[in-house]
Structure 1
Amino acid sequence: MKGFLQTKKDEMIGLLERLVNIDSGSTHKEGIDEVGGILKELYEELGFSTEVVEESTSGNNMVITYGENPSILLVAHMDTVFRVGTAKERPFKIEGDKAYGPGVIDMKGSQVALLYAMKALKEKNLRALESVQIVLNGDEETGSETSRPIIEKCAEGKKYALIMEPARKDGSLVTARRGVGRYSVYVTGKAAHSGIEPQNGISAIGELAHKIIKLHALTNHDEGVSVSVGIIEGGESVNTVAPTAAGHVDVRIRYAEQAEVIDAMIREICTTSDVPGTTITLEGGINRPPMVKNEQTIELLEIIKETGAGLGIEITDVSTGGGSDASFTSAMGIPTIDGLGPIGGNAHSDQEYLEIPSLLERTHLLAEVIGRLSAGE
């Protein structure tokens, strides 16, 4: 398959450029659906059937299948974290052996690799395509709220799940991830002029400050638990006692059993006001379970390592604190490996890059792994 893919290198880079130059931030439904439309057409040209699951506000999700009884699920998201206009401001470019642009590694490069792995399999191992089902989702970067049920439904009965997040900077695959939670704390107080009648005001910001300190105190790095209020909002003017405030909270956990405990602690903190007269509303919860490196994961990793060795690729693996859709399939007990996309780094930044040689290398690896798994090894 290596020779076939080498003949497609220019095509692959051309498709990568086309996808990167489309704004598809999680809140930009039009752009995500444009990416989905391009990929839908290309998969249908290969003989895949596609089912578009329409969403009202977020990007549409898509289920792509070749055979009747697929045993391998692949998941790749179409959304990015970048605002509308970013692609125009810093479009796709190549400097040396690296490609740059918004979403180039997270994960438009993976979309290209996945499609061309399917092309290679159709050329060299048609039987393997019948083992494949693909979910392309449009809201991974915001927690996969609409796509999680689709991923979990498709995962039922599957033998393996391969998640197309990019490989780490050193080429490592991902075999463990921390679970993720998102909460929002909304506080209501009472406005008053801070110079004329401050005694008549009740500061929502003051109440939120108490909550931030208590929430941050829940962090225990030794246990793999971190709680961070990453965004705060509040107030109307500098000379007004703040009538409203909000804090948006990120939670990470190492083990599934920590989810219920940390959720209860957060809710207890937000049940009682520290500043009399304020009211608190808490929204959110744990939305991604941890991906645990268990025996099934290790067995699948060994297959990938052996396949990589046959291609001259040394495969290593890491644990990471970031969340992904791998958590859903792993929590269902399905052997899951993440990070099967190309190699790159600086995701979510204006220096995001993809190592171009890895685009062919990891596409080849993916195709060979699917071929081996479909043969029942």
Structure 2
Amino acid sequence: MERLTGTERAAIERLDAGAMLSRVERWAAINSGTRNIAGCAAMADALTEAFGVLPGALRLVEPAPAQAVGSDGVVSELAHGRHLHLSVRPDAPVRLLLTGHMDTVYPADHPFQTLTWREPGVLNGPGVADMKGGLALMLEALLAIEAVAPHVGYDVLINSDEETGSFSSAALLAEVARGKAATLTYEPALPDGTLAGARGGTGNFSIVVRGRAAHAGRNPEDGRNAIVAAGALAVRLHAERSPRLAVNPARIDGGGPNNVVPDLAVLRINFRPADADEIARARAAIDAAVTEVAAAHDVAIEVHGGFNRPPKPVDAGAARLFELVRATGADLGQSIGWRDTGGVCDGNNIAACGVPVVDTMGARGGAIHSMEEFLIVDSLAERAALSAVTMLRLASGALA
């Protein structure tokens, strides 16, 4: 702690651990599953009130159009909540971006809706780590910055659809990231504080197969079985997997009565490429498989979807930012390490804009996306301090 400046010490002293925990408890009580539009609206209102105490221009941005393919093969518009954008001191010489998401993976009818204490200091509840804890400490760090150094320039973007791919916010994210010196994203760290380093990418596809119905006993030869064709497509694409490209055929929708040759199937499939070359290989594999299966089974095939999260390597700029965070943690008595992960988040999209990003600046916790999700409460103050001091150092040109 002796290497901290007076301003950095003042920022840390300003942090209020009780206020952060209270925010987490209030916000986790709001169900904001991505598809719960009313819940996301309530969460957006709560965040508007909370972040509205900061200076700058705050707005709720309408979601961009996004589509989904139903089990009937029909493409329809997909509803999303609004996204929060706050811009503070846009003319500052060094500008930062802080991002997070208000949505969770728990829908309105999910049984996981309440908070419980697993043990002293460990809070179990929906979104407590991913990422309402992260949002709470992000705000507290910014309040501390405003109290001691009201010259830092930054944007805050909190979207409503990160958990399902950021389809209605990706363009906004790219727009806001433009020109920023660095980005801090508040996904949870691991329980021991380890950060995510390099990330692979992801692509989700819904492949619609249209065959021809026929009687399964009287004239099956006149039918074109869409389920069989979709299965062949799944097997063909699954064979393309490698250590650098995971391929997961996850579901086939379609079919009907046993005595009818099914004329419709929708294959849901996920790809996890390690780098841009693997994206190109996967796209070529999809094109080849569609052509071959369509011809072999005499069916029509439509491909919907794409690679919505590009791979995130740790390039030179990201390495410098990681080192700054690590050194800042050391000055605070926190041991900060990182490791590569197969998970994806908005950090992938930000890195693709050429902006250095550390995307696990949130609270320490674990078991996310499950009913065992937990937050280590002491980490709220720890990580808020890490954020505040990191931002002060970034604003002073530490990456220049």
* TM-score, length basis structure 2: 0.88
Match of 2:319 in 1: 298
Match of 1:75 in 2: 99
Q: Does 1:178 align with 2:178?
A: no
Q: Does 1:283 align with 2:320?
A: no
Task: Tell me the alpha carbon deviations over residues 46-72 of structure 1, each in whole angstroms, 9 at most, x when there is no partner.
Answer: 324202112372111121122123511
Greater Cα shift, 331-340 or 89-98: 89-98
SS at match of 1:237: coil
Q: Is the 8 A contact 2:12 2:388 kept in 1?
A: no
Counterpart among 331, 344, 361 of residue 340 in structure 1: 361
Q: Does 1:245 align with 2:265?
A: yes
Q: Is the 8 A contact 1:263 1:286 kept in 2?
A: no
For 1:308 and 1:254, the matched residues in 2 are separated by 29
- Taking a change above 3 Å as real, the CA distance of residues 275 and 102 of structure 1, as seen in their structure-2 partners, is farther
Task: Tell me the alpha carbon deviations over residues 57-102 of structure 1, each in whole angstroms, 9 at most, x when there is no partner.
Answer: 211112112212351111101111121133x753122222211122
Q: Does 1:191 align with 2:213?
A: yes
Match of 2:7 in 1: none
Task: Tell me the alpha carbon deviations over residues 285-331 of structure 1, each in whole angstroms, 9 at most, x when there is no partner.
Answer: 11111111111111111111111111100110111111111112212
For 1:345 and 1:259, the matched residues in 2 are separated by 30
Match of 2:82 in 1: 60
For 2:272 and 2:264, the matched residues in 1 are separated by 27
Match of 2:180 in 1: 158
For 2:183 and 2:18, the matched residues in 1 are separated by 29
SS at match of 2:24: helix
Task: Tell me the alpha carbon deviations over residues 179-222 of structure 1, each in whole angstroms, 9 at most, x when there is no partner.
Answer: 1111111111223343444344321111111111111111111x
Task: Tell me the alpha carbon deviations over residues 131-157 of structure 1, each in whole angstroms, 9 at most, x when there is no partner.
Answer: 211111111112112211111111111
SS at match of 1:292: coil
Equivalent residue runs for 1:45-124 within 5 Å: 45-55=53-63, 57-69=79-91, 71-86=95-110, 89-96=112-119, 97-124=121-148
Unaligned runs of 5+ in 1: none
Pairwise CA distance, 1:112: 0.7
Greater Cα shift, 272-281 or 332-341: 272-281
SS at match of 2:323: helix
Q: Does 1:37 align with 2:45?
A: yes
For 1:17 and 1:208, the matched residues in 2 are separated by 45
Q: Is the 8 A contact 1:342 1:359 kept in 2?
A: yes
Q: Does 1:16 align with 2:24?
A: yes
Equivalent residue runs for 1:227-238 within 5 Å: 227-238=247-258
Greater Cα shift, 177-186 or 62-71: 62-71
Counterpart among 263, 276, 283 of residue 256 in structure 1: 276
For 1:275 and 1:236, the matched residues in 2 are separated by 23
Q: How many residues end up aligned between the 2 structures?
A: 370
Greater Cα shift, 20-29 or 188-197: 188-197
For 2:91 and 2:368, the matched residues in 1 are separated by 35
Q: Is the 8 A contact 2:97 2:177 kept in 1?
A: yes
Q: Is the 8 A contact 2:254 2:266 kept in 1?
A: yes
Q: Is the 8 A contact 2:33 2:106 kept in 1?
A: yes
Counterpart among 14, 20, 39 of residue 4 in structure 1: 14
Task: Tell me the alpha carbon deviations over residues 257-289 of structure 1, each in whole angstroms, 9 at most, x when there is no partner.
Answer: 322221121122112326533221111111111
> Between the two proteins, what is the percent identity of the paired residues?
32
SS at match of 1:126: coil
Counterpart among 157, 160, 177 of residue 138 in structure 1: 160
For 2:305 and 2:247, the matched residues in 1 are separated by 14
For 2:29 and 2:109, the matched residues in 1 are separated by 10
Q: Is the 8 A contact 2:191 2:376 kept in 1?
A: no
Q: Is the 8 A contact 2:112 2:125 kept in 1?
A: no
* TM-score, length basis structure 1: 0.93
SS at match of 2:390: helix
For 1:11 and 1:206, the matched residues in 2 are separated by 57
- Taking a change above 3 Å as real, the CA distance of residues 264 and 17 of structure 1, as seen in their structure-2 partners, is same
Unaligned runs of 5+ in 2: 1-10, 66-78
